[in-house]
């Protein structure tokens, strides 16, 4: 397969992922829509405001999961249960 064609289609795919109404133009809202979805996922009570707890929900959940005796603190053994599995999360490549 010629590399140019695959580059094009990848670029087109990227374009159409944003171009929700398929009018060949990406509006600001369409551009922001990917962020909107991520935001809505986090905004648990749907009030269009992210509290710190909502924003940090994955960390909060991990903490609650690890805090086996529910004393609001993690000892070393509890903390070890949420050790990131090697290769499980895509690490920052910077």
Q: Which one among 1, 4, 13, 21 touches Ca ion, defined by CB under 5 A?
A: 21
The nearer residue to Ca ion, 54 or 56, going by C-beta atoms, is 54
Contact assessment for residue 68 and residue 58, using Cβ atoms and an 8 Å cutoff: no
Contact assessment for residue 26 and residue 18, using Cβ atoms and an 8 Å cutoff: yes
Stretch that binds Ca ion, among 7-15, 22-30, 32-40, 56-64 (CB under 5 A): 22-30
DSSP string, 40-73: HHH-TT-SS---HHHHTHHHHHHHHHH-TT-SS-
Neighbours of 74 (CB within 10 A): 17
| Residues numbered 42-81 forming contacts with Ca ion, rule: CB under 5 A | 43, 45, 47, 49, 54, 67, 69, 71, 73, 78
Q: Which residues bind Ca ion (CB under 5 A)?
A: 19, 21, 23, 25, 43, 45, 47, 49, 54, 67, 69, 71, 73, 78
């Amino acid at each position: 397969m010629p590399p140019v064609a695959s580059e094009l289609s990848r670029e087109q795919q990227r374009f159409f992922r944003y171009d929700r109404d398929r009018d060949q133009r990406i509006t600001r809202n369409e551009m922001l829509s990917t962020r909107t979805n991520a935001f809505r996922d986090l905004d648990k009570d749907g009030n269009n405001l992210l509290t710190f707890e909502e924003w940090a929900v994955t960390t909060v959940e991990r903490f609650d999961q690890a805090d086996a005796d529910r004393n609001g603190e993690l000892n070393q053994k509890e903390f070890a249960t949420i050790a990131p599995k090697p290769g499980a999360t895509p690490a920052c490549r910077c």
